[in-house]
Amino acid sequence: MTTGGFEVTGLTVVRGGTEVLRDLSCTVSAGEVTGLLGPSGCGKSTLMRAVVGVQQITRGSVRVLGEPAGSASLRHRIGYVTQTPSVYDDLTVVENLEFFASVLGVPRSRVGDCLTTVDLSSHRDAVVGRLSGGERSRVSLAVALLGEPELLVLDEPTVGLDPVLRQDLWGTFHALAAAGAAVLVSSHVMDEAMRCDRLLLMRDGRLIADDPPTALLARTGTADIESAFLALVREDR
């Protein structure tokens, strides 16, 4: 039993009569950046919600940092960024961060640090509603970083970002993992996969691969993750 990261066993989630996740099992460990890849609608967000503890689950178990997902004691220890930025549009960047900092009970100095991490220091007094989509999602990411979480769950955090910034953010994810956190990043863009230490490939609510990217390429005899995904889908049929 690991105490870092999380462990999903036989997880099934039924939503509106359809099985969104089907008997899914996987383990994500601390110290690694794990990529969760798959086409949109395959259940990535639902899996992430289950890990964070905001998803009602039908069967199976999810243990996070050694405790059942959704436990009150985990609320200090997880950072979660949803696909659509969950921040207040009518507050400024710094007001958003200061508010969430007081809810988390972390010192104000974290606000400046996190703004630097997501490269938004120059926009600190801008009203969030007037920022671009990419900037808004960075505000949302900064909020998730405030509490120095042991598990960071990021649902498509790099969509629509400038390539330079994207590179920097992946650097940040790796730095956080190196410092001992478990980082789970979802994406529907296969080209981001090579940046991960490990990959979980999903399709139709099931896991079709769980390997380091290079091992995945070697196993499927392909040159890129997109082709590997296709090879796995063919094999799966």
Q: What is the DSSP letter of 76?
A: G
CA dihedral 196, 140, 133, 176 (to 10 degrees): -20
Min separation Cβ 88 and other proteins, Å: 6
Site string for other proteins, 64-93 (x = CB under 8 A): ------x-x--xx-x-x-x-xxxxxxxx--
DSSP SS3 for 149: coil
**205 scored as a contact of other proteins (CB under 8 A):** no
55 vs 117, beta carbon nearer other proteins: 55
CA–CA separation, 209 vs 181, rounded Å?
Answer: 23
- Quickly count: other Cβ atoms within 10 Å of residue 184's Cβ: 28
- Residue 232 Cα to chain centre, angstroms: 23
Q: Which of 39, 103, 133, 194 binds other proteins (CB under 8 A)?
A: 103
Min separation Cβ 18 and other proteins, Å: 12
**108 scored as a contact of other proteins (CB under 8 A):** no
Q: Which of 2, 99, 148, 232 binds other proteins (CB under 8 A)?
A: 99
Contact (CB, 8 A) for 72 and 114:
no
Burial status of residue 132 (CB atoms within 10 A of its CB: 0-12, 13-18, 19 or more): exposed
Q: Which of 52, 217, 225, 228 binds other proteins (CB under 8 A)?
A: 52
Which residues would be at the binding site for other proteins (CB under 8 A)? 15-16, 52-56, 70, 72, 75-76, 78, 80, 82, 84-91, 95, 99-100, 102-105, 127, 143, 147
